[in-house]
Amino acid sequence: MSTRISSLELKTPADLLRARQMCTLLGRELGLEKQDQIRLASAVSDVGRNTLDHARGGRVEFWFRDERELAVLVRDQGPGIADPEAALQGRSLAGVSRLVDALRIDSAPGQGTRVWLVKRLPVTARVPDSECLLRLQLAVQRTLPPTAEQELRDQSEQLLQLLESAAQRERELQRLNLELEETNRGVMALYAELNERAENYQNLAELKTRFLSEVSHELRTPLNSILAISRLLLDRTDGDLSDEQERQVEFIRSSAVALTQLVTDLLDLAKTEAGKMSLRITEFDLEDIWTGLRGMLRPLLTGATQLIFDDPPPLRLRTDERKLNQILRNLLSNGLKFTPEGEVRLRVLSTENDQLVLAVSDTGVGISPRDQARLFEDFTQVDSPLQAKLHGTGLGLSLSRRLAQMLGGRLWVESELGTGSTFFLSIPVAIGAAPALITSTERQSESVVLAVEPDNDVLLAYKTALQPLGISVQQARSVRDARRALQLLDPVAVLLEVLLPYRSGWSLLAELKHHPLTRQIPVAVVTDVDNRAKAEELGADVFARKPVDRAWLRNWVSQLPRPAGRPHLLVIDDEPTARYIVREALNDSPYLIREAADGAVGLQMADAAGPAAIVLDMEMPQMDGFEVLRQLASQPHTKTVPVIIHTQTTLTPEMRKRFPPQVVDAVSKSAAAANGSHHALVQALARAGLNWGIGE
């Protein structure tokens, strides 16, 4: 709702002076600050002068709006404005718009012009009631037109106030700039100190890792000797022992076993921190893990505690069996230690989305929230009445978390004091590409069709149909295998079955057609599922029911264009394990991933087809990383390729100064192994301008 306070005819410059005076009066009475009163009066004066010049006069109206606004309407019956938007951009009105909170023009040729000028009242201003508005109307009516001398004096005073305000703001700005400069100097000094401390910490971490590794190796030999000799004594190889002597030898042997376990944990910890622990990928059944753990942990059972293994689902895993066994063994043995009576249970929670989620729960003493926060730190042991009676190194859980990260998963805990604990382990069902896929070091020399199909008979039909065209067929049995295949291949097409193990093929179709780097790949949905509408909705190029007609398949593929080449990442590293870790860390990337085992081959591959980015190791035989960087920077078509350093070498400030501008980041293999390679490499590639959304 709006209320008109007053209005006046605008015919002479004297009327314009009175309009300014009324603006100042109303602004003061309604609670506008002095500067805002001057701005509004100046804006009305400029618009009113245009009205006198172009329309020979008009009218000025003063309104109060319930939105806590003082609005001034300047209207005329002049020739109008053909393009009000362009007029707003003109020099005159552009200046006016900076003086008010809102400016609007309603005009058309031959229909006159209406200009609204709005100034919002401050939140502290009192909202006028009807009595106050009536008083304002009377006050405005009593105002007399100012003389030219009086108006000139008022405007001079207003100008002086504005100049003083501007000078005060300038002084305040200078003060703030000085404070900002001092703050920046302090921040730069802090950054320098932090960088120095980070380098010192990294050097100490390297020294610690080397020390643990060397000491662990040195301790293993005498410990093995103690265990072997004590076994000989207990077997009475050189004569009988008294009962007391047997007890003493048992004490020696149990201490040596505990110390051997400590040394083993220290050595494994050192390997993981240094990034030198490798994965041994094999295929095995989940039931095999259950069987081995039952036999291994049976000696730890007491009469008051039950160890329960819920029957696992029939599941084939492709991962490091030894490391998975080691994680579960640590969790179960910890549960047995801290559960004096009750049960410790191992069960499978989920196998969805290519992820195996396991839970080890117990009914023991539980863990407080304070201890949960530091539970996975090295050499950490939980305070409890049972701890004094138990032997432990405090390394089992920290090592288990690192091993879980190496397997591409994570480990976490939920617990309450007095009610027990549950440890959760989530890992991928399969690590690594399917055996049928080509290796990334091979260059794609022929056209390839990727068949996402678990049925070997169907795969044979595809190969038979496409062989006359000189096209090879590569198989992927699951969504995860398909993603890895797309890292190594640039297929002319994808043949997709939507009924896949672990995860539906519909999700892969949506991913392929969502990302700009893969959406151009033609996809044929070939399945027993009669759902053409869904396939077309998700972006499939064609849809066919099984069994597929070979002539139709051959005809469709023969008409497809050959791939122009997808952007790829080049990994240059002499260690196969390091290349494998990079490939696994980027398993959801839609980029092709090519590998080079030495610098010379890497330079040839970079020269032949410029990669989107290069992941480079610094320590390589024959040609180290600095030489590779030098040659990359010397060639016009490779000197702009972003490079991410991925190395075990401790990079000193002097070494970093030798990097060319194309080096965008450096990732420590040790830090990546401890904290997860995926996050570090993805962040580094993001700094190089490479981002993706597929597979998230």
DSSP letter for each residue of 376-435: TSTT-----TTGGG----S-HHHHHHHHHHHTT-EEEEEEETTTEEEEEEEEESB-S--T
Q: Of residues 490 and 577, which shows the higher confidence score?
A: 490
DSSP letter for each residue of 558-583: HTSPPP----EEEEE-S-HHHHHHHH
Q: What is the pLDDT of residue 645?
A: 92
pLDDT in tens, 292-320: 888 778 766 767 888 999 988 888 898 98
SS3 content of the chain, % helix, strand, coil (to 5): 50, 20, 30
Check whether the bond before 222 is cis (ω within 30° of 0): no
Do 366 and 417 meet the contact criterion of CB atoms below 8 Å apart? yes
| First-last CA distance in the chain | 52
Sheet architecture: strand order including 342-350: 305-309, 342-350, 355-362, 420-428, 410-416
Q: What is the pLDDT of residue 432?
A: 55
Quickly state the pLDDT bin for 449 (edges 50, 70, 90).
very high
pLDDT in tens, 595-637: 888 888 888 888 877 788 999 998 888 888 999 999 999 888 8
Quickly state the pLDDT bin for 188 (edges 50, 70, 90).
confident
Quickly state the pLDDT bin for 654 (edges 50, 70, 90).
confident
Q: What is the pLDDT of residue 423?
A: 93
Question: Quick one: CA torsion of 79, 80, 81, 82, rounded to 10 degrees?
Answer: -80
Quickly state the pLDDT bin for 397 (edges 50, 70, 90).
confident
pLDDT above 80 (res 47): yes
Element (H, E) at 2: strand 2-10
Give CA–CA dist 280/313, Å, rounded: 23
Quickly state the pLDDT bin for 676 (edges 50, 70, 90).
low
DSSP letter for each residue of 75-102: EE-SS--S-HHHHHHSHHHHHHHTTSSE
Quickly state the pLDDT bin for 445 (edges 50, 70, 90).
very low
| Dihedrals phi, psi of 263, to nearest 5 degrees | -60, -45
pLDDT in tens, 59-72: 999 888 877 888 99
Q: How many CB atoms lie within 10 A of CB 98?
A: 9
Annotate 296-309 with b (16+ C-beta within 10 A) or e (fewer): ebeeeeeeebebeb
Q: What is the pLDDT of residue 150?
A: 60
Element (H, E) at 306: strand 305-309
Encoded tokens for 108: 């058309």
Do 317 and 284 meet the contact criterion of CB atoms below 8 Å apart? yes
Q: Could you give all domains of the chain from N- to C-terminal order, each with its CATH number? A: 2-146 (3.30.565.10), 281-428 (3.30.565.10), 448-558 (3.40.50.2300), 568-687 (3.40.50.2300)
Encoded tokens for 303: 């009469």
- Residue 75 burial (10 A CB sphere; 0-12, 13-18, 19+): buried
Q: What is the pLDDT of residue 506?
A: 92
What residues are paired with 4 via a beta bridge?
63
Do 603 and 570 meet the contact criterion of CB atoms below 8 Å apart? no
Q: What is the pLDDT of residue 541?
A: 93
Q: What is the pLDDT of residue 606?
A: 86
Mean pLDDT of 125-153: 66
**For the ranges 277-286, 292-301, 391-400, 638-647, which has the lowest average pLDDT?**
391-400
Mean pLDDT of 144-154: 59
pLDDT above 60 (res 550): yes
> What proportion of the chain, given as a percentage, has pLDDT over 90?
17
Q: Which of 411, 432, 405 is nearest to 423 (CA)?
A: 411
Chain-wide mean pLDDT for the chain? 80
Provide Rg for the chain, Cα atoms: 39
Residue the block writes with tokens 């606004």: 69
